[in-house]
Structures are given as structure tokens and as C-alpha cells.
Amino acid sequence: MDMEKIVNYCKNYGFIFPGSDIYGGLANTWDYGPLGVELKNNIKKVWWKRFVQESENSFGIDAGILMNPIVWQASGHVDSFTDPLIDCKECKARHRADHLIEGFTDEVIPDTMTDEEMVKYINDNKIPCPNCGKSNYTDIREFNLMFETSRGVVKDATSKVYLRPETAQGEFVNFLNVQRTMRAKIPFGIGQIGKAFRNEITPGNFIFRTIEFEQMEHQWFCKEGTDSDFYKTFKEKAWKFLLDLGIDENSIRFHDHDKLSHYAKEACDIEYNFPFGFSELWGTHNRTNYDLGRHQEYSKKSMEYLDPETNEKYVPYVVESSVGCDRLTLAILCNAYKEEQLENDTREVLKIHPYLAPYKVVVLPLVKKYHSDKAKEIYQKLSKHFMTSYDDSGSIGKRYRRADAIGTVFAVTIDDNTLNNNTVTIRDRDTMQQITLDIDEIINYVEERIKL
Ligand code: GAP
């Protein structure tokens, strides 16, 4: 599977289009089409189910993208949320120094390298610029990734606001609101799904690294001393969730960080083997009491939790589980897309978990002239329960292929037996086996098989 194939597949089948396409696009922006939005919504729904709904003592929020700018001073993002920017003096192309090194060597380079060590490595090895092939670079400058904008009618220093670079701070600033209103006892969790923005130096690889993306983040507030155990629990929870979504176990691996973010005591990624190699998909971080402690310091409001049993007061530790929704969408598409060799044919099939499939069922009248009325009636009935599509053009074989290619789980064919006996044939996308069912059995049959 190469990246170009997946990009074309997504464009041609209505999953993901280049952003502002009719104006020549805007680099590294993407719009989700009819199938993409269904897939992404299903991913968000199942993440929410697992991390909020089914997680005892977890609650959801939906905080604003714009926050008081002091939030980002307190969180450390104003000072430390930077990437090492290096320019090619010859062609002026901009690069992330660490990515330049990673792209050049198969050696395992420690992620604790300082800026000076990276410059030395790049110059000693004469790493060529991926754009012009020459090796003549500036020094590294630390480039802050936060997007700035201004609010109000006057554009001055006091009007500056940031587009949030992570959703997590929404959970931290609402920690006590949630704790109080939900009468939550430690340990408890707050989950959120929402947009985040980063002025990435080198966005790219389709929806893998973009400047606008969605995160699904869950913060677990716990007592110091219990944090490392919860950190392990959440690493495993993320791993199991990926397997439950149908991700091939051989395509993922853990990568413990040597170089920790400014807030973390322990950090680990689950990396997925994307077409361009193993890269970060999901982060689990032990953020200690750094964030709540800093918000306490900057806001002058107590962030302490009062334990009702022991009367002890403390600022809780936080274990964070964070995954990009777009990155997970890409991993799921790469994992599910197959070109299968059949006896006399090949078929494109998206072997995606049924819960995630954009359409669960397609309704197919065998002969348009005779079977359309009944097929429309059944379509109306099914579409009240799950995403259902309708296809009456071309041979039945072609229609099966179209449905397979977009991952539609079941094809329901309406024929003379439907008119005479109230039965349909229902074909399974993965096995291509067909069975006969009574019309009244379809909904239960499908619902049983799309659960997660
Ligand atoms: N709150 C912690 C945090 O934001 P992160 O490792 O910087 O940690 C978490 O980001 C996840 O967000 C990543 O594992 C990745 O899935 C996703 N992500 C980060 N930057 C992204 C980008 N530019 N484009 C798409 N997804 C991104």
C-alpha cells in the first residue's frame, strides 16, 4: 500500500478531498467527504463510548478553541511548544532538523539530541536538502507552533489569542467544575474531542500531519503514587482499543520517549506502520501535577482536591491518553484497504470493522423495473436504524464491487422472492457468502453484527 494510492482512493470514493480544491487547494488542508465524515464520526463515537461512556467515573466536556492566553503561559506552550527549524541557505526550503536526520539515517538517533548536536550531525554527515540536494544550512531556531490571532476591533498586544494547540488544557481548566458538579471522587477522568491547530514546519503525508486536526484526549486525575500504575493501564487500554478496531497487531509498536515534553514524567507512543514507516499514532503521558500546579500558580485559584475520606488536600496527578482522530482515520484506512485476488478477478475491498463502516447496508433491487418499489420501501425502513445506501445502476456484480470498495458491510438484494415470500438475500462483504432472511429479521441481524 503506498500513500499515493490511499490519497487517490480517498478522493475518488468520497472520503477525503483536498481543501479549497477549486482554488487550487491550500497546502496540507483536507475536507472530509460523505464517506469520510461517516467514518470519522464513527471513530469519534466509538472512542467516546470506550473512554467516556464505558469508563467508570469518566465525564465528557466540550471546551472552547479560544482560551484566555494566560492558559498557554501557564501550560508552558508560550515558552516551550517549539520545533527545531532549520533553513536551506540554497533554496530557502524549511525543515524540521530532527526530521531531516530521521529521513537520512536508519540509525536510532536519541531524541534527546540538543539543537547544537543536531546541527553538528547534519553538517558532519552533509545531509542533503530534500528539496535541492545541497547541504548548506542555517543554525537551528526554535519555532513556536501556536497559531496566533486577535480578538476585538483593535489589533494590539492585549488582543492576542491563540488557537489551542491541544484540547487537554480545556480539561485542566475545568477540572474543579467537573469534579464539583459531578461529585466526582479521585480517581476520575475527563474526555474531550475537538479541533487543535499547530503551525507545523513540515506538515504532510496526507492527513497524518496537518495544521488543523482533531484530537481525542482523556485526562485521568489521580493521587501521586498511583500515577505510574495508571500510566501502564492507559498504555494498555489504548493498545487493546486499537486491536478491537481491527488494527493488525504487527502494524503497531510501543515507543517509550527518551526526550520528554516539558510537562511529562513518563511518555510513550503507540506507533503505526504507515506507508512511510512507523510513526506516532497515540500518546500516553504521565503529566504529573504539572498542569494543575501551573494553573494554580497563574490563576491564583486553588486546584486542590479534598479527599472526603481522609480530609487530605492535594493537587492531583494526571495521566493523559491522546490520539489524533485524523491520524487514527488514516491508520484505519491503511489497515483496511485490500486488493484481493479472486478466482477470475480482483476486488478492491475496505475490510473495516463493521461499526466503523460508513454504510452498514446497501439495498439493491435485482431488476430496477420490477423490484425498485419494494427496494425503496426496505431502504426507508433500514435507514431509520443505520446508514443505508441504495444502488440500482449496473449489473449486480458491479454493484457488489462498488459496495465492497467502500466497506459497506451487507448488501441486501430485492428480487421476486421478496415480492412473493417477503425474503431477501443478504451478502457479507468479507466472506461474500449470501443467506436468505425474512425482511423483518434484517434489522436485528445487522445490528447484532455491527456492535463493538
Ligand atoms: N495533549 C498532548 C498532546 O497534544 P501530542 O503528542 O503533541 O500530545 C497527541 O499530540 C496526538 O495528536 C498525536 O499522537 C497525534 O495523533 C495527534 N497529532 C499531533 N499533531 C498532529 C498534527 N499536526 N496533525 C494531525 N495529528 C496530530
200 and 306 in a common domain: yes
Q: Are 352 and 326 in contact, with CB atoms under 8 Å apart?
A: no
Number of CB atoms found within 10 A of residue 41's CB: 15
Q: What is the mean pLDDT of residues 220-239?
A: 98
287 lines ligand 1 (CB under 6 A): no
369 and 279 in a common domain: no
Which residues are paired to 285 by β-bridges? Answer: 267, 320
pLDDT score at 236: 98
68 and 16 in a common domain: yes
Q: Is residue 339 part of a domain?
A: no
pLDDT score at 271: 98
Q: Whose CA is nearest to atom 14 of ligand 1?
A: 282
pTM: 0.95
217 lines ligand 1 (CB under 6 A): yes
d(CA 429, CA 382): 18
Type of residue numbered 249: E
435 and 316 in a common domain: no
297 and 166 in a common domain: yes
408 lines ligand 1 (CB under 6 A): no
Ligand 1 atom at minimal distance to the Cα of residue 215: 12
Q: Is residue 379 part of a domain?
A: yes
When mean pLDDT is compared across 150-154, 322-326, 412-416, 419-423, the lowest value belongs to 150-154
- Secondary structure letter of residue 126 according to DSSP: T
Ramachandran angles phi, psi of 130, nearest 5°: -60, -20
Domain boundary among 310, 334, 358: 334
Q: Which of 28, 29, 166, 200 to mutate to test the pocket of ligand 1 (most atoms within 8 A of CB)?
A: 166
Give the distance (Å) from ligand 1 centre to CA of residue 376: 44
Q: Is residue 376 part of a domain?
A: yes
Helix (H, G, I), strand (E, B) or coil at 283: strand
Q: Of 263, 275, 419, 417, whose CA–CA distance to 337 is shortest?
A: 275
d(CA 315, CA 227): 13
Q: Are 86 and 100 in contact, with CB atoms under 8 Å apart?
A: yes
280 lines ligand 1 (CB under 6 A): yes
Give the distance (Å) from ligand 1 centre to CA of residue 177: 26
| Segments forming the whole domain that contains residue 391 | 350-449
Q: Which CATH number covers residue 120?
A: 3.30.40.230
Q: Which CATH number covers residue 165?
A: 3.30.930.10
Q: Of 294, 274, 359, 234, whose CA–CA distance to 2 is shortest?
A: 274
Q: Is residue 343 part of a domain?
A: no
Number of CB atoms found within 10 A of residue 265's CB: 16
Q: Of 209, 233, 214, whose CA–CA distance to 286 is shortest?
A: 233
68 and 159 in a common domain: yes
pLDDT score at 155: 77
pLDDT score at 108: 72
Give the distance (Å) from ligand 1 centre to CA of residue 389: 34
Q: Of 223, 206, 191, 241, whose CA–CA distance to 8 is shortest?
A: 206
213 lines ligand 1 (CB under 6 A): yes
Q: Of 412, 222, 388, whose CA–CA distance to 316 is shortest?
A: 222
pLDDT score at 319: 98
Residues of the chain with pLDDT > 70: what percent? 100
Helix (H, G, I), strand (E, B) or coil at 71: helix
Ligand 1 atom at minimal distance to the Cα of residue 328: 16
Ramachandran angles phi, psi of 390, nearest 5°: -135, 130
pLDDT score at 227: 97
Q: Are 101 and 137 in contact, with CB atoms under 8 Å apart?
A: no
168 lines ligand 1 (CB under 6 A): yes
Ligand 1 atom at minimal distance to the Cα of residue 165: 4
Q: Which of 207, 215, 286 to mutate to test the pocket of ligand 1 (most atoms within 8 A of CB)?
A: 215
> Which region, left, alpha or beta, applies to residue 25 given φ > 0 means left and ψ of -120 to 50 means alpha?
left
Helix (H, G, I), strand (E, B) or coil at 214: strand
